[in-house]
Amino acid sequence: MDHQDWNVVILNPKKHLKTNTEQYQNSRAAKIENSESLSHKRVGLSLGKQISNARIAKGFATQRELANALCCSPSVVADYESGKAIPDNRVMQKLRYILTIKLVVQKN
């Protein structure tokens, strides 16, 4: 049995964690996280005002009524009207259809 390796192997978990941390700091993912601000674009306040004005003009007195017509939660409508929502094509298309207006997300 000379061909088998029977040496004792000792694993040191602290050393193992240190090398993973060093590898992460040198990795491309860490460089991306530190160099870029990762955030989604929002719909903007001007679009929110358009939606709010069109909602009132169409006869939806509350955001809840519009949300029921859109088959979504009232918080979605509130986020769009306050300009905090991340643009979703499905919701935008439903808003265009129900409110019969042209909604354009302005690029910042």
- What are the structural domain ranges in the chain? 45-99
pLDDT score, position 19: 54
pTM: 0.62
Mean pLDDT by 10 residues, the chain (108 residues): 70 56 61 63 87 94 94 94 90 93 71
- Is residue 96 exposed (0-12), middle (13-18) or buried (19+ Cβ within 10 Å)? middle
The helix-helix angle for 45-58 and 89-99 (nearest 10°) equals 40
pLDDT score, position 73: 94
Assigned token pair, 42: 């929002």
**Angstrom distance (rounded) from CA 82 to CA 15:** 50
**Angstrom distance (rounded) from CA 52 to CA 66:** 10
**Who contacts 49 (Cβ-Cβ below 8 Å, separation ≥6)?**
81
Cβ-contact 81, 25 below 8 angstroms: no
User: Under CATH, which number does the domain 45-99 receive?
Assistant: 1.10.260.40
Q: Please give the radius of gyration of the chain, using alpha carbons only, rounded to the nearest integer.
A: 27
